[in-house]
A and B are shown apart, each in its own frame.
Chain A
């Protein structure tokens, strides 16, 4: 199985801050990497697919980069509605696997 490791596990940031979350895979997987946002009591929401493609309807302040084993999710200017938990997920092979999540909290 491919292990996905996110860092940090949590972070505190202010509105307007630039936030970066990283995800490392245990083996190379090209660009088969997706990012999700989850708010309490809700289903996850797809933000980025294929490492850097923005899902329709997602604000452009979200961006993704990387390939192989190292990937990054960036929020260019954090907004109040962005406080949530973020997960990376690989779609290179089954079983699909997720990172452990990064909780973004208000500073």
Chain B
């Protein structure tokens, strides 16, 4: 079935970097953009950015510019999100999510990873 499986929980110290993976299965990996969304404890959803897994092109939210990087590996059907210069406010659950129609009317997040908890302490 169509699914995104993320890597496990991470505990990092302030100033460190974290890399979270998101492995796709059950669909054509290069045909769908992937977003990253995070959720701080008890808070709402925050969009971080998007990657085209085929071309490797990215767009990031302004607040993360300079410390966020998204990459893709088509051979392993995996996208990666790396956030550097971590601070306590980056403690959150990080989700990857597939977009079925980026740029079109049906653009949305139709398949989600299970989430990866990143704790900065």
State the majority secondary structure of interface residues on B: loop
Could you tell me which B residues sit within 8 Å of A by CB distance? 35, 44-47, 50, 59, 61-62, 95, 97, 105-110, 112-115
State the majority secondary structure of interface residues on A: loop
Q: Would you give the 0/1 interface string for A12-43, flagging 1 where the beta carbon is closer than 8 Å to chain B? A: 00000000000000000011101010100001
Flag if A53 contacts B62 (CB, 8 Å).
Answer: no
List the B side residues contacting A43 at CB < 8 Å. 95, 97, 112-115
Range of interface residues on A (Cβ < 8 Å): 20 to 34
Q: For the complex, what is the distance from the CA of A101 to the CA of B40, rounded to whole Å?
A: 13
Q: State how many angstroms separate the Cβ of A41 from the closest Cβ of chain B.
A: 8
Interchain CB contact (< 8 A) of A46 among B50, B110, B114:
B110
Q: State how many angstroms separate the Cβ of B55 from the closest Cβ of chain A.
A: 16
A49 at the interface (CB under 8 A from B): yes
